[in-house]
Amino acid sequence: MTTTHRLDRARPYVLGLFRIVIGSLFTCHGIASLFGVLGRENLRTGTWPGWYAAVIQLAAGTLVTLGIGTRTAAFLGSGSMAFAYFDVHQRVGLLPMENGGEPAALFCWTLLLLAVTGPGAWAADRLFAAGTAAHLREPRLGAPV
């Protein structure tokens, strides 16, 4: 078995771990902003755009972590981070290194990747799928997801 073949077989599991880690980190940002924990200041309810972004982070991050509606939640989270980058961070400077927008840029692109690739292994959506246990298995390489 070649290294490429082994890596291809591991893809759904690595993607599942990637989804769980990114979703958990995104959720932590929402929790920190909404509840004033983890070194963040509590946002006042309804404050635009921060409070709404934090609600999206909490909801979308939780759904992505669990693998429930991953593509939709990740797409919504990606869009909110694109908005945050261009509306908030871009005003300070052009590059993420100078405007503090690295987390927003990274979340935007990683969540977009999850919206395109799907949840990978261990997604709760698979548990709710109707039918046989075949829905719990990962698709074969090249098969539609």
Model pLDDT, residue 139: 56
pLDDT > 70 fraction of the chain, expressed in percent and rounded: 89
pTM of the model: 0.84
Which residues lie closer than 8 Å to 17 by C-beta, 6 or more apart? 120
Residue extents of the structural domains in the chain: 12-126
Model pLDDT, residue 1: 83
If one compares 6 and 134, the residue with the highest pLDDT of the two is 6
Model pLDDT, residue 39: 80
Q: Which of 53-62, 87-96, 103-112 is least confident?
A: 87-96
121 pLDDT tier (thresholds 50, 70, 90): very high
pLDDT > 90 fraction of the chain, expressed in percent and rounded: 75
Model pLDDT, residue 132: 45
Q: Identity (one letter) of the amino acid at 47? A: T
- Report the interhelical angle of 102-117 vs 3-35 (nearest 10°): 130
113 pLDDT tier (thresholds 50, 70, 90): very high
Q: Which of 23-32, 78-87, 120-129 is least confident?
A: 120-129
